[in-house]
Amino acid sequence: MMIRLRFVNKPVLLLLIWVGVLMVLSGCRGAGSNATPQRPSLTPTPRSTHLPSVPTPVPVGAPNNPIRIVFPLLASGRSESAARSAANALETQLTSDTGLSITVEVVANNAEALSALCASTSQNAVATWLSGIPYAAAYVDDCGDAALQVERTEGSESVSGLEVILIGSRAANVASVSALADEVFCRLNYADLNTWLIPSIMLREGGITDGSQFSQVRDYEDIDALIAAVAEGECAGAGMLARDFEERADQADRSATTILATSIDIPFSILIYPLEIPLGQRAALTDAFITIGNGSRGDALLSPLLLHDQIIVAEDTEFARLRSFINQAGLNLTNLGM
């Protein structure tokens, strides 16, 4: 049996293929006709949020952030009113000379000045003039740096500090510091630098660590009475400036007493800047103090506050012997300087 193949002519074949393609495409389109077209979503644009404002620090020495300069009252018998009057005048001059905002204050003693210095902040910067022992306390507590110091004229010399001596009574048979134990020790008062605070350091070096080792501690009204009390045997010993003893003790007093110990030179007064005062402001203040103190304005503006003859530049390295002298006594320096 023979099968015959019938050939479709070419145009008809092409037409059939085209119809088939159209049917396939129509079926595909129908399958997707029920899908819901997705509308593109809009991405919201974020709104900017303002950050809280941060206050700009007021520079040290600006009108709203003045530099405080603190002076302790001198234990020289000069009136408090004279010191405060000089402080007001100095404030005006320092402000004019430096272009900085400055306040000048007078406090009762070195302890208050030291406390203000060590509490300095960038918004309450305090520079202080301190005597030698409180300066050493400031150094130990890292409260600031020495910048200037006072010089005074003694005879034909300029000196920046004075020695303190301990004297003993020959009538009480006192020939050494240790012999003062269980005896009467005399002073001006518990806060006096030259008759009690510095002598306390010297006494410790001699083995007397506190006042309880004396039979009694008596206060006298002035240096003349103190010298006489030791010479007459009312007191076994006392401390004072070597200069005061040289100037006030007569020959009889010298014969009746003996010098038991002598300190190193204790600086009169040192200006200390806290870390919060920038270098530029320090330089301006230093220049102004030297110009005022060593010029025609010094007697009126600084002498009532410092009892100075000259202001000179100083650095911490110059006071190494002072710090060593105090450290040997093993005292808590923060408690000194009252």
Write out the chain's pLDDT in tens, 338 residues. 444 444 445 555 555 565 565 565 555 555 545 555 555 555 666 666 666 666 678 999 999 999 999 999 987 656 889 999 999 999 999 999 999 999 999 999 898 999 999 999 999 999 999 999 899 999 989 999 999 999 999 888 899 999 999 999 999 999 999 999 999 999 999 888 899 989 999 998 889 988 899 999 999 999 999 999 999 999 999 999 999 999 999 999 999 999 999 999 999 999 999 999 999 999 999 999 999 999 999 999 999 999 999 999 999 999 999 998 887 766 665 555 44
Strand order in the sheet with 164-169: 216-219, 184-187, 237-241, 164-169, 257-262
Quick count: other Cβ atoms within 10 Å of Cβ 259?
A: 12
C-alpha distances out from residue 63 to 67, 86, 100, 101, 123, Å? 9, 22, 8, 5, 11
Q: Would you state the structure tokens that stand for residue 31, as one six-digit string?
A: 């399958």
What pTM was computed for the model? 0.76
| pLDDT at res. 82 | 92
Q: Specify whether the backbone of 144 is left (phi greater than 0), alpha (psi in -120 to 50) or beta.
A: left
**Paired sense of beta strands 126-130 and 270-273, if any:** antiparallel
For 164-262, CATH number out of 3.90.950.10, 3.40.50.261, 3.40.190.10, 3.40.50.2020 equals 3.40.190.10
Distance CA 338, CA 184 (A): 22
Q: Would you state the structure tokens that stand for residue 279, as one six-digit string?
A: 């270098």
| pLDDT at res. 291 | 97
As to burial, measured by CB atoms within 10 angstroms (0-12 exposed, 13-18 middle, 19+ buried), residue 312 is middle
| pLDDT at res. 337 | 44
Structural domain 67-153+267-335, CATH architecture: 3-Layer(aba) Sandwich (3.40)
| pLDDT at res. 41 | 59
Distance CA 258, CA 236 (A): 11
Q: Tell me where in the chain the CATH 3.40.190.180 domain(s) lie.
A: 67-153+267-335
Residue type, position 102, single letter: I
Q: How many residues does the chain have?
A: 338
Give yes or no for a contact between 110 and 131, defined as CB atoms under 8 angstroms apart: yes
Closest CA to 67 of 260, 284, 297: 284
| pLDDT at res. 42 | 56
Provide, for the chain, the percentages of residues in helix, strand and coil under a 3-state DSSP scheme, each rounded to the nearest 5: 40, 20, 40
Q: Tell me where in the chain the CATH 3.40.190.10 domain(s) lie.
A: 164-262
Quick count: other Cβ atoms within 10 Å of Cβ 156?
A: 5
| pLDDT at res. 210 | 85
Distance CA 231, CA 246 (A): 14
